[in-house]
Homo-oligomer: A and B are copies of this chain.
Amino acid sequence: MDNRAKILSCALQLFATRGYDAVGVQEIVAAVGIAKPTLYHFFGSKEGVLQALLTEHFAEQYERVKQAAVYRGDLPLTLNQIATAYFQYAGDHRQFYRMQLSMWFGPANSTAYKAVSRLNEKQHQLLEDLFARASKDHGNLRGRQRAYAATFLGMINTYIGLSLNGYADLSDELVQQAVHQFMHGIFS
């Protein structure tokens, strides 16, 4: 593993466990075992490290969810696939998801929140489009796609958060139940 990768790895761990603002550049390079200019050579700034971390990890996550989100007339099935994709990704990259989650719920004017907001927007858009497409088969959603997308994503992230803190495990049954619950909430 070269120094660039080592920096990203150590930074991810530190950001995830202590928070972006609480971790200094000094601390990162000390953890890696290099000097500061090396970090600045690769990433230009502390925020550059964060950006690289987010874009490189998020690409895979987005691709997985995107493939799960193809709509073929069965909304519950699609939501099932999406939830499964999220749960699997979160399970495979616990640290990254933890960081992403903390930034998503973090203060709206923080550097970290601004950095993840564009990623959130992409995820949100994906879901919103799905609900819009599904509305042809499930009756008019009366502009509620946006709220549904937010609620669904919020629910998924809640379960992942619970799992990361040991309150739940992201089993297939949980996916089933969660989606069932969600659909039940929409059409009632």
Contact = CB atoms under 8 A, between A and B. Distances in A.
A111 B185 CA distance: 37
A21 B15 CA distance: 12
Contact of A18 (B109, B178, B182): B109
A147 interface: yes
A161 B184 CA distance: 21
Q: Count identical subunits in the complex.
A: 2
B157 A18 contact: no
A102 interface: yes
Nearest to A168: B147
Q: Is the interface of A mostly helix, strand, loop or mixed?
A: helix
Contact of A150 (B108, B154, B162, B185): B162
Interface residues of A, number: 42
Closest 4 CB pairs of A and B: A21-B21, A105-B105, A150-B167, A154-B158
13 contacts: A16-B107, A19-B21, A21-B21, A21-B22, A22-B110, A98-B107, A104-B105, A105-B161, A106-B106, A150-B165, A150-B168, A151-B162, A177-B185
